[in-house]
Amino acid sequence: MIIRDNYLKRMIDAKDTEFIKVITGVRRSGKSTLLLMFKDYLLKEKIKEENIIHINFESAKYDNIKNYQDLYKYVEKKINKDKVYLLLDEVQNVESWEKAINSFKVDFNIDIYITGSNAYLLSSELSTLLSGRYIEIKMYPLSFKEYLIFNNYDKENLVDKFNEYLKYGGLPAITLIKDKDDLVLSYLNDIYNTIVKKDIIDRNKIKDTALLENIIKYLANNIGSQISSNKISDYLNSNKIVESSNHQTIDNYLNMLEKSFIMYKADRTDVKSKALLKTLGKYYISDTGLRNIISGFRNIDEGHLLENVVYLELLRRGYKVSIGKTNEYEIDFVVENPNVIKYFQVTKSLTNEDVKVRELRSLESINDNYEKIILTMDKTINNDFNGIKILNIIDWLLQDE
């Protein structure tokens, strides 16, 4: 296993705290492997194997654990007087599992780590039972830096390797089969179908699957565009793609897509007032390979895929990310954490003077002194215009932050 240090470090930093550690992310992004890495770490720290309880609920071995009572009884039998580390993988497969987790914290000397492939893991009853008592560790597919490491790539011909990353995406297993297009297509199709069926259709008992799949295709084809449920409804109805659709149903389906982690929504904010604007957010997909399997590998829109890659990287770096509006201008990304605010524009190239003026104008319209950055595929010598940094996207992705 190749260690994903940033995620493992977060787990180690949270070890033995009172909080339940909840690892979330799209299917096959590496959550199960992360638990195994953490188990190896515990063993190296001289934790006895009998004090580590590791259950993967996608294994038939644990099919008899169907509800929280079954889970409680199974774990209780394995507990001794020593501290126990409980690692539960895809725990949402157990009915009312959160009740068992709550009891474990009350009854035993236990440190708990759980994973799940949808945001329902952190909704409703869990939030009520465990309010303020869990830490979420959000896991994403491989960054470009990780992609190079997983493939054992050097730093030569980085543009070609980056284009490969845009095409196939960053799901870790892709690095094992990327030279075999038929296997890549099959693997990405299988993951996409599993997410749609298990995490969306089955979980929410959706009957209008055609509408759902057409919404997904619309989002995949319009990555980085301003979107509303009314826009989607008008498009589907006017093109007679579905018999009928309404914005309330579409809103519900969009929410389900977010909860499955296949799509992320970036809300729109007013840069000056910091107010959240209720309409016209943007959607980004969790992995560019999944986007290409939905929209087709011959329909790769590099400009929007670049924006998607930057959005995910900003999330990985721990920022809250929104899209910005200032007067009549749009800012691709407004990012912040407790210590920093930054503004980003993303464009394939600034060699066209009109594009350059447009991208600079948006950032120049912001009347504050926070860092302003344009990311582009250009290899530019002059990397500063009136205090606005111009950075190559690949160079930026490989920076440490």
Q: Where in the chain is the domain with CATH 3.40.50.300?
A: 5-138
Question: 237 falls in which pLDDT band (50, 70, 90)?
Answer: confident
Predicted pLDDT at 127: 64
Encode pLDDT of 341-367 as tens digits. Answer: 999 999 999 999 999 999 999 999 999
Predicted pLDDT at 125: 57
Which CATH superfamily is 5-138 part of? P-loop containing nucleotide triphosphate hydrolases (3.40.50.300)
133 and 107 in contact (C-beta within 8 Å)?
A: no
Over the Cα atoms of the chain, what is R_g? 22
Average pLDDT, the chain: 92
Predicted pLDDT at 245: 75
Cα distance between residue 183 and residue 51, in whole Å: 39
Q: Is residue 268 over pLDDT 80?
A: yes
Q: Residue 218: which residues within 8 A CB-CB, separation 6 or more?
A: 232, 235, 236
Give me the mean pLDDT over the 177-206 stretch: 95
Task: Please report how the helices 288-295 and 302-316 are oriented relative to each other, as an axis angle in degrees rounded to 10.
Answer: 150
pTM over 0.85: yes
Predicted pLDDT at 385: 87
Predicted pLDDT at 118: 87
